Structure 1
Amino acid sequence: MKNLFLLAVLCLLTASLYGQSAPSPSRISIQGRSVDTSAAPLASSTIMLLSPKDSSLVNFMRADEKGSFTFKNIKSGTYILKISFVGYIPYNLVVKPTGDAVIDLGELVLKPITKELMEVVVRTAKAPLTIKGDTIEYNASSFKVPPGSTVEDLLRKLPGVQVDQDGNIRAQGQTVEKVTVDGKSFFGRDPKLATKNLQAESISKVQVYNDKTEQSKLTGVEDGKKEKTVNLELKEEFKKGGFGKVTAGAGPASNDLPARAEVKGNYNKFDSKQQFSVIGLGNNTNQQGLSFNDYQDFRGSNSFNWNDNADFGFSGSGRGFYFGGDDDESLGIPINGGGGRGFSNNAAGGANYNYDTKKTKLSTSYYYNQSRIEINALRNRENFLQTGSFLTEEASNQINFNGNHRVSLRYEKALDSMQTLIIINNTRLNNGNAFLFRRQALSRSDGIPPAGTLPDYTPSTLDSSTNQSDSRQFGSASTVLYRLKFKKKSRSFAASATYQINTNDGNLDLNSQTRFFQATSANEALRVIRQAQTTNSLRNEYKASLLYVEPFAKKFFWETFYNFSLRYDEVDRDVLNVGDAFPIRNDSLSRFYKNEYLFNRVGSGLRYSFKGLNLSAGLAGQRFSLNGRYAPDQTSPVDSLISRTFTTVVPNVSLNYDMKNNKYLYGGYDVNVRIPSSRDLQPIINNSNPLFINEGNPNLLPELQHNVNGGFSYFNPGSFTNLFVNVYGTYYVNQIVYSQQVNTETLVTTTFPENITGGKNIGSYMSVGFPLKKTKATLNINSQLNFGNNLTNINGTRNETENRNYTIGTRLDLTPTEWLTFYGNASIGRTNTRYSISSGQNQQITNNNFNGDLNLKLPGSFYVNTSLNYRVFRNRQSNFDQRIPLWNASVYHILGKAKKAEIRLSSVDLLNRNVSITQYAGQNYRQNEQVNTLARYFLLSFSYNMRGVNATIRRNGGF
């Protein structure tokens, strides 16, 4: 009996132990080895785990040098294992739980692609992502977004890609400079125009890669410089028919503001050779939409899109000189607004056409945009002097209207296998008008207050002024670029010719009354200005460049270039004092001047290029001549002459090392020359703000900027970890600064440019990103430091302003399931500013920003989106403290079986707290500004997706 009892106990224990070990583990590991048919390892092959439900990506990695891989600590379940390697048929295997903690798949054999197996490859090639060197190709259908989403929404879901709240894109830790559609331009170079306007459902693949510079493509010599590029490949059905999206919405009036409304739409029709797109919008919700780099398109090398470098220099670095500060005589009215500030009514529309064949490429577009912006602002500015300070409290109302037409064309023709001709034109026509009413109250404080206390101010000056202006601007830049490749590899020649013209005609009516409380006589107590100012300007520039590259050894190249520029400026400025009887010309403010700028540069350099290592060193000599004359009037018999010649030797050294395993190292030293602008050189007095007057200086010298920079980037395509580090520094010789002369009685400030040597600026930026859980959670951390020393003269005394900027930021992307996404980021910034002339007024400014964006998919094709942005602005010295929460939310429903329609209810600024705030400390002042801005409103909108061709996609297990 005793033995039977013991036997029963042992049976129970055995059953108990068996019962404990029988269940399958909740977490498992899957391992294996990728090999070819000869059992040789396929190192760095891409290994992916997919969900059998919808082929979505669960996890991924790259095999090691032995072809081995291991997925550790993954949830137990059934998966599809997919292996891809260039030149081999993708391998697919269904992996089911075995009850073991480790599933060893052994050797997995990939077969090489042959002609007979091509059909099999097509049927099995579908994969969420493919890694080929530094190029990552995403299969868009594997990353789920709600119907009607834009490409921007799709990019947010891709591993290794980040899109901030403004639509700026970073991939593999670097800023994306260019987005193409099927390899072609889409409305110029602005990436946002493609990502915000194209639909996600039209995209088949997203390719992220490093593109070469235009000069590297021309010469065939690798210079090591890269440009991060995203290419969007369209689905076949969207290449055969038209597609687009139309949205219209309206909302009720609130807070004594009119009703809100918006309409926007786009239509696209693409095929293998042609692309046609139309974009349009209209609203009063502060959404300006399209981005136009209007003015800069007609300035220097910025007029050449697609990185067409028509000003050849050191490896595409351009001329090394530029004109600084010209604004085409804008009459001095501060044109602010945009970016959500104030209240704006906007309309824009454009058409883009591309034609692309092997020998002929044509890209042309037309845009029109107009905006009427009303800005009501409060500004508080404190200026620091040697013996005290003065405070300016300003309230202003401003209404601006601007309408812009822009036409661009780029035509490229391959004359033969060796010769290419390119014709480029950018043209802009602008009409605008502005009204500005401004009230400024100035108070003075004598002496420096004790630390931690505020100055005691006494009222000194009160000014009320009205500015009314209108302007008409025209600009056009035309370039012809010729490229020739010789039979000898890497030997090449290029030539370019450019003509640019800019005109600006404007009128300004100025009315102001200024009261000086400290005046000693009645005549000095009140100053009244009533003026009519007219400015007509014309600028012509002729440019030419030559480039020759000669390989003189297997790894060495000799590059020689020449730049020529001849520019004519003519400005006629008439100022009339408007009295009760008739206008009287003011000769002290009127000026007529002509300038002729002649620039010549010749340079040469040596380049070593081998296996990703690029070293170059060169030297250029440049000569700049300025001949000008100015007088109160065109008919004046006496001219004042300007005749200046500057000769500069410019060095250039650069290192670019594209190392193995996606590591990149770069560095360099160069010198830039900033030529004084026409406005800065001419002794013209601009009194559009009677309390802050600007005046030119004909004795200015060119500014030299000695620049050093270096950096390192790393991207692991297996783990999607990225690191980017950059350091930079600039030392200024004859820096063009804007010194001040303050009248200690009236507090009227006169600003004028002059040269000072000794300013410097150094800084660094670092960013690191890594997945917390692949395809589910990604964390990015970044920091930025900038230390600047700026020199100016304040009432003849040298002031050194030290700025120390510290910023740290982080971003978290959570995409755990198809029905939930969350994007959160935080930025904490602090600026410490110190002044040598008034150390008691040192400033400490804090700018913090916290943002979260949540998207939920609910049953029944309902979706919810909500975002919260919390901004903090602080300045301890002036007791300034503002905290602004902005909460937006929307709920929308997808309609119909085809899911083409959407109805959405949106609420903007639910807490009704929106206001635009900026604060800044620099030179010898600190300033904060508050602008009334469109706050809480609601919008009910309807969207419809147009699809010209309906295509059914046959699923075959996802492969």
Structure 2
Amino acid sequence: MKNLFLLAVLCLLSAMLYAQSPTAPTRFTLQGRAVDTTSAPLASSTVMLLNAKDSSLVNFTRTGDNGAFSFKNLKAANYVLKISFVGFIPYNQVIKPTGDALIDLGALKLKPITRELMEVVVRTAKAPLTIKGDTIEYNASSFKVPPGSTVEDLLRKLPGVQVDQDGNIRAQGQEVKKVTVDGKSFFGNDPKAATKNLQAEAITKVQVFDDKTEQSKLTGINDGKKEKTVNLELKEEFKKGGFGKVTAGGGPASNNVSARFDGKGMYNKFDSKQQFSAILLGNNTNQQGLSFNDYQDFRGSNAFNFNDNADFGFSGSNRYIYFGDDNNESLTVPVGGGEGRGFSKNSAGGINYNYDTKKTKLSTSYYYNQTRIDLDALRENKRYLPGTSSLRTTDTSNQSNLNTNHRVSFRYEKQLDSMQTLVVISNGRFGNGNSNLQSLQRVFLNSGTGSDVPTTNSQTLNNTSANQFAMANTVLYRLKLKKKGRSLAASGTFQTNSNDGDLLLKAQNQFFQATSVNDMLRVLNQDQGTTSRSNQYKGNLLFVEPFAKKYTWETFYNFSLRNDEVDRDVTNLNDSRRRIDSLSLYYKNNYLFNRLGSSLRYSFKGLNIAAGVAGQQFRLDGRYARNEDQPLQPIQRTYTTVIPNVSLNYSMKNNRSLYAGYDVGVQIPSSRDLQPVTSNSNPLFVTRGNPNLLPQLNHNISGYFNYFNPGSFTSFWANVYTTYYVNQIVYSQTVDPQTNIVTTMPENLTGGRNLGSYIGFGFPLKKTKATLNLNTQLNFGHNLTRINTVLNETNNQNYSFGGQLALTPKEWIAFYANANFNVTDTRYSINTAQNQIIYNNSFRGDLNLQLPGSIFFNTSLNYRTYKNERLNFNQQIPILNTSIYHILGKAKKAEIRLSAYDLLNRNVVISQYAGQNYTSTERIQSLARYFMLSITYNMRGVQGKVRREGFY
């Protein structure tokens, strides 16, 4: 393994040493000043140095207050100097070395743009990048990527942009929230859908800027918050015709695993007003498509939280009322398996259509996906009890999940006139799934003075099936009144969710220490059927009144009515399907929520301060019984809370921003937690509800500072956050002394808290050649749990350190490396002997080479380590992937690729975690070494012919 690292490092150092060879030609410094025709300095002008051969970007900077700039340590070669400033004709000059150590160009005059000179401006305006305030525009053709590359590959080349190994994007030090294509949404709000599937060759410009939040756009209120956005501008030839990409590949069977296959096709047709995209994929290589989270879809209405942008009120992250996690009640067996876990077969397809004009915007899409995952897992859980005792549970399981989902989305926005806007949003999802689980659990008791003693064995067979439907519909109306800044907004939402699930539970339990145990605990053969229906109606009003030049008064009202009905029937299949009342339940709940609030906002020269207060009341009117035919017992609760909110957003000069805020989040107990019902889907881990729960209050304070220098592309980002919990909903535990069955029940505890900070710093070691990003994250948590009536305090101290290095010294070589170190120190008050430290580290390196004859070579090594000395757990997982591919044909439309995945045959998914009174480890067998031969064809609707005349 060390040899592999050494080989990669040697390749890198060889390239760098060659570039820095002592025999290289003499270097020199280039300097000058940008001024206008009156010799007045043009501060903050964009200055770029281009390679005279191919116009590729060599270096860039911005002029100082006196208009001066300087490039140091330049190789003796021909360059093109380009200076640009808004309202002036770009200045171009060819630079040839003179043999002197310093070339001083003196004052370089830029001419203002006039109508007569407009044609000259158009011909000379093309530049690798343009900086206008906080907006940076990159000319894609100036940043070379191999043929067939995706937009994600292109973004990796752009100064000031970072893309991690999972495809997450950061620009100017901030996370990118949205990626648009020609200003239009692309497959919803998932940035990776565009960057992973669109071809880099289709892009002419990449624009990075701060956009208003959707909430701010819809309400017309400047809340001071921005979303970092990337817009991809298509080339004209790709706007006029269709383009796409088709890939098909296969590989031989290996390691007693069937043959591999992978197919994917995407077609796009865009014009100035319309976009159409279609995608189809299928594979058995654990690639689950467009990064849509299948499990989140499977849960139901949680997938539609984005409709809450019509819930007016405080713009803090906790302005919504939370109804808990009710949807899992009909999914008693968790659906496991994500990308890279187990063995999966996947198929998906989708179409997307956008129509965008000044007055009308329409976006609609349909997406289908089916995933089958087989999981062979080994889990170990160690649960700490008061004193020195502990329970250790080992779980060996085999699980097969099949999930199918259809998702339809629709968004329509219409400018009725200059004063009125109407927005209609509708999203629907329906699907079904089934899961088969076989599990063998063993429980051992350690009294703290000797070795583990076996107490319980449980063999379980679970078969689960579920059919689900969810839909969310929102109508939003906004009216601008005659007085400038005065506006009125109203919205209405209807959401519905239905879930029909069935669980066949068979279990045989052996209790070695218990002398007398109910026979029903020894043999379980049950049918657990659950039918749930949920409808929610919401209405919101917002009135904005500017009463002074810098002040705005906002008043809002929120209404919500939710109706839940759940019928849970559990029968004993060994007793003529006799109903088990202790596990069955029928209930109907009505949740009524009202909130009235007001805030005052001050805005002036980038400073945005808001302070407000709201009063809210939540009322639960519930009825429950063991059977629908029995008299219903009431559960009635009324919670009234006063919610303060304070926020500060300050956009300062020189691309700096500051935020600070305080808000209170309210979490209402879920209906599942409130109902006095017992669930035994895991016979050794039983859950029970608590009708006396109170709402949880989260007092949140946070702040962050962001700085980005567009001249040096240096970024700095830091934040700090803390939360204090009042009436926190925690799951206390009781362990039966005879059977060691763990029973959990939610209760309210006050005193939990969390404190954390994140700091990130990025800068170019050498512009366009090397970039380094460093980050550190600290988190300190204090959590409370009651174990056998004894209060346990768990303190977690988490320290993370990371770094990313990007090296592109030549066009034919690129190297990306990152390292992440994570240490968690966990301490327990009830059992200090079990205090422990967990280490989770990862290292990754990617090397890309372009060889002669249009041949390209890629290799990546991902090395992960997991360590916990207390549990005697120490695991290293190296994953080595390699591919070589060749571009075919004169038009370079086709590619043939040979890939090898996990060459060392070491892939296994491992995780370790420290909870409030337990630690757990998990090992899941996953797809290991395999080989793939694939062919890719790139389609183009219209051939683009670009004629190069002179320098751009």
Do they superpose with TM above 0.5?
Answer: yes
Aligned-pair identity (%): 68
- In the other structure, the counterpart of 1:80 is 80
Matches within 5 A, 1:592-607: 592-607=586-601
Indicate the SS of the match to 1:314: coil
Q: What is the deviation of 1:522?
A: 8.0
Is 1:562 matched with 2:557?
yes
Alpha carbons of structure 1 residues 611 and 525: separation in structure 2 relative to 1, 3 Å: closer
Q: 1:525 offset after TM fit, Å? A: 11
Question: Where do residues 751-830 of structure 1 align in structure 2 (5 Å cutoff)?
Answer: 751-830=744-823
Q: Distance in 1 between matches of 2:545 and 2:110?
A: 45
Deviations 1:493-542 (A, max 9, x none): 11000000000001110000000001224866971000011100000000
Q: Which one-letter code corresponds to 1:164 in the other structure?
A: D
2: distance between equivalents of 1:540 and 1:767? 43
Per-residue CA deviations over 1:354-390 (Å, capped at 9, x if unaligned) read 0000100000000000100000000111111013011
How much has 1:817 moved relative to structure 2? 1.2
The 1:586–1:524 alpha-carbon spacing in structure 2 relative to 1, beyond 3 Å, is: closer
Mapping of 1:87-486 within 5 angstroms? 87-293=87-293, 303=304, 305=306, 309-315=309-315, 317=317, 319-387=319-387, 388-447=389-448, 456-486=451-481
Alignment check: 8 A CA contact 2:26 2:99 kept: no
Is the CA contact (8 Å cut-off) linking 2:599 and 2:610 kept in structure 1? yes
Q: Match for 2:605: what amino acid?
A: K
Matched, 1:927 2:920: yes
Match of 1:886 in 2: 879
CA contact (8 A) 2:408 2:428 kept: yes
Counterparts of 1:508 and 1:733, CA distance in 2 = 36
Cα distance in 2 for partners of 1:223, 1:293 equals: 30
User: For 1:179, what is the secondary structure of its paired residue?
Assistant: strand
Q: In the TM superposition, what is the alpha-carbon distance from 1:295 to its structure 2 partner?
A: 7.1
Per-residue Cα deviation, 1:12-42 (whole angstroms, up to 9, x for no partner): xxxxxxxxxxx99711110111011121111
Please tell me whether the aligned partners of residues 726 and 750 of structure 2 are also in contact (alpha carbons under 8 angstroms): yes
Cα contact 1:739–1:751 (8 A) shared by 2: yes
Aligned AA (1:185): S
Aligned equivalents of 1:308, 1:133: Cα separation in 2:
32
- 2:503 corresponds in structure 1 to 508
Residue 590 (str. 1) matches residue 591 (str. 2): no
1:925–1:534 distance in 2 versus 1, CA, 3 Å: same
What is the distance in 2 between the residues matched to 1:54 and 1:271? Answer: 30
Q: How many pairs align?
A: 928
3-state SS of paired residue (2:38):
coil
Q: Deviations over 1:87-115 (max 9, x none)?
A: 11111100111121110111111111122
| Partner SS state of residue 185, structure 2 | coil
The aligned counterpart of 2:16 is none
Secondary structure of the 1:775 match is: coil
Residues 1:688 and 2:688 aligned together: no
Displacement after TM superposition at 1:116 (Å): 1.9
3-state DSSP of counterpart to 1:303? helix
In structure 2, relative to structure 1, the CA distance for the partners of 1:42 and 1:616 (3 Å cut) is same
Q: 1:457 to 1:954 in 2, by over 3 A?
A: same
CA gap of 1:948–1:25, structure 2 versus 1, over 3 A, is closer
SS in 1 for 2:325: coil
The more displaced of 109-118 and 499-508 is: 109-118
User: Which amino acid in structure 2 is aligned with residue 260 of structure 1?
Assistant: R
Report the CA distance between 1:331 and its aligned residue: 3.4
1:613 aligns with 2:607: yes
1:721 aligns with 2:710: no
Code of the residue aligned with 1:183 in structure 2: it is: G
The DSSP-based 3-state class of the residue aligned with 2:152 is helix
Give SS of 1:201's match: helix
Question: Which residue number in structure 1 is paired with residue 20 of structure 2?
Answer: none
| Matching residue of 2:8 | none
Residue 573 (1) aligns with residue 562 (2)? no
**Measured at CA, do residues 828 and 929 of structure 1 come closer, stay the same or move farther in structure 2, by a change above 3 Å?**
same
Distance (Å, rounded) in 1 between the aligned partners of 2:452 and 2:825: 24
Would the alpha carbon gap of residues 758 and 43 (structure 1) be closer, same or farther in structure 2, given more than 3 Å must change? Answer: same
Would you say the 8 A contact 1:403–1:432 is kept in 2? yes
Residue 42 of structure 2 corresponds to residue 42 of structure 1: yes
TM norm structure 1: 0.95
Give, as a single letter, the amino acid of the residue that structure 1 aligns with 2:670: S
Q: Is the 8 A contact 2:300 2:469 kept in 1?
A: no
1:24–1:401 distance in 2 versus 1, CA, 3 Å: closer
CA distance in 2, matches of 1:663, 1:717: 11
Q: Is the 8 A contact 2:384 2:834 kept in 1?
A: yes
CA–CA separation in structure 2 for the residues paired with 1:99 and 1:331: 76
Equivalent residue letter for 2:88: Y
CA distance in 2, matches of 1:446, 1:797: 17
Task: Decide whether the 8 Å contact of 2:331 with 2:466 is kept in 1.
Answer: no
Deviations 1:381-410 (A, max 9, x none): 111101301110110000000000000000
How far, CA to CA, are the matches of 2:81 and 2:855 in structure 1?
33
CA deviations on 1:103-147 (whole Å, 9 max, x unpaired) are: 011111111112222211111111000000000000000000011
Structure 1 residues 615 and 396: CA distance shift in structure 2, 3 A: same
The residue type paired with residue 186 of structure 1 is F
SS at match of 1:744: coil
Q: Secondary structure at the match of 1:668?
A: strand
Distance in 2 between residues matched to 1:62 and 1:331, nearest whole Å: 58
Call closer, same or farther: CA 1:219–1:478 in 2, change over 3 Å.
closer
Distance 1:856 1:957 in 2: 30
Report deviation, 1:294: 5.9
Using the TM superposition, give the Cα deviation of residue 296 of structure 1 relative to its aligned residue in structure 2, in angstroms: 5.8
Q: Which amino acid aligns with 1:107?
A: A
1:643 matched to which residue of 2? 636
When residues 300 and 561 of structure 1 are mapped into structure 2, their CA distance, relative to the original with a 3 A threshold, is: farther
Equivalent position SS for 2:848: strand
Q: Which amino acid aligns with 2:807?
A: L
| 1:626-664 deviation digits (Å, cap 9, x = unpaired) | 00010011111x322101000000000001000000000
Larger C-alpha radius of gyration, 1 or 2? 1
Residue 549 (str. 1) matches residue 544 (str. 2): yes
Q: What is the rounded CA distance, in whole Å, between the counterparts of 1:92 and 1:732 in structure 2? A: 61
Q: Which residue of 2 aligns with 1:20?
A: none
Rounded to whole Å, the distance in 1 between the matches of 2:525 and 2:506 is 5
Instruction: Name the CA shift for 1:729/1:521 in 2 (closer, same or farther; >3 Å).
Output: closer
In the alignment, what sits opposite 1:941? 934
SS in 2 for 1:327: helix
**Residue of structure 1 in register with 2:6 after alignment:** none
Please say if residues 519 and 525 of structure 1, whose CA atoms lie closer than 8 Å, have aligned partners that are also in contact: no
Do the aligned residues in 2 keep the contact of 1:24 with 1:99 (CA within 8 Å)? no
> 2:647 — aligned with what?
654
Q: Does the 8 A contact of 1:466 with 1:512 survive in 2?
A: yes
**8 Å contact kept, 2:865–2:877:** yes
The CA deviation string for residues 535-568 of structure 1, in whole angstroms up to 9 with x for no partner, is: 0000000001111111111101101111000000
Q: Residues of 1 paired with 2:477 and 2:77: CA distance?
A: 61
Question: For the residues of structure 1 that align with 2:305 and 2:423, how far apart are their CA atoms?
Answer: 11
Q: Return the letter of the residue paired with 1:275.
A: Q
Task: Describe the shift of the 1:288–1:467 C-alpha distance in structure 2 as closer, same or farther (beyond 3 A).
Answer: same
TM (norm. structure 2) is: 0.96
- Describe the SS at the equivalent of 1:322: coil
